[in-house]
Amino acid sequence: MIRDIDLETFSLKAQFTKHAQDFDDLQNEMAGRDVGRIERFLNADIREDKISGKRGTRKDAGLTNLQILMINNPAYAALFEETFQVLSDAQRELDDLLQRVQAEIKQANAALDDKLDRAAKLPDGTKVFKDQNGDIRTEDGTLVAPELAATILWRGDEPTLEAVNADKERLNRLSDLADDVRAGQAEIGGMQSGMADETEPPSADDLNGFKKRAEEITQGTEQRFEQEMTRSAPTVSKTSVEATSDLVVPKL
C-alpha cells in the first residue's frame, strides 16, 4: 500500500522553508533593503554603518564567516544564491514526482486487488491461477494437484499467474522509486543544511558539487518514472476503474 511521507520529511521541509527565508533576509539586510521585517543578521554597528556610509571592522561587528564571504566575494555570493535556488527547485520537483509515483502505486494496488478478487479458488478458499502453460498454481507458484484442480469452477474472467506477478513487480518497482525519491530529498536536504552553516560555509567547489548532484538526483528519478510509465500499464476491471476514477496524476 502507499507509504506516506513520514514526520522526518515534514520536518526537513520546515527547515528548508526557514533557510530560504533566512537567506532572503540576509541578502536584503546586506543590500540595505527594507522589506518590513526586523533585521536579524547584521548587528546594530553594521546597520548604523550602512546608514552613515561607514564600513567598520567586520570582526568587531560580529559578522559570521558566511556573511563575510557573501560581502567580500560577489562571485561566491552569486554562486551561493544560484545553488540555493537549484536545491529549492530540486526539492519541489521531487515533491511533485513523489505525488505522481504515489498515485501510480494506488492505481497499481487497485489493479492487483481486482485480479486477486477475480481469482479462482480451491474448496478451502486458496486462490489459484493458470500459468502460461495452462497449469494450475497457487499465488506463490506452487503447482496444484490434478485432483484438486478438477474441483475448480471456472468463470472465464480469471487473471493469469503472469498477470498477477506483473502487477506485483510493478508495485515493487514503484515502491523502490518512491523510496529513492525520499532518499534524494533527504540528500538534498543535507546539502541545504550545509549551506545554512554560517561558521563553516561550503566552498565554491562544494556549491558546484551540490548543483551537479541535485540535477543528477532529479533527472535520474524522473527518467526512471518515465521509463516505468512506458511499460504496460496494469489492467483493471470496470468496477475497479470506477472505484479509482477520482485519482488525478499531476502533469509534468
- Tens-digit pLDDT profile for residues 132-172: 999 999 999 999 999 999 999 999 999 999 999 999 999 99
Partners of 129 in the β-ladder: 137
- Tens-digit pLDDT profile for residues 40-84: 545 555 555 544 555 544 444 578 898 888 898 899 999 999 999
What whole-number distance in Å separates Cα of residue 165 and Cα of residue 111? 12
Write phi, then psi, for 158 (nearest 5 degrees).
Answer: -70, 140
**Displacement of CA 132 from its chain's centroid (Å):** 37
Write phi, then psi, for 128 (nearest 5 degrees).
Answer: -135, 160
Percentage of the chain modeled with pLDDT above 90:
61
Residue 112 has pLDDT above 80, yes or no: yes
pTM tops 0.95: no
**What's residue 69's pLDDT?**
87
Mapped onto helix, strand or coil, the DSSP state of residue 202 is coil
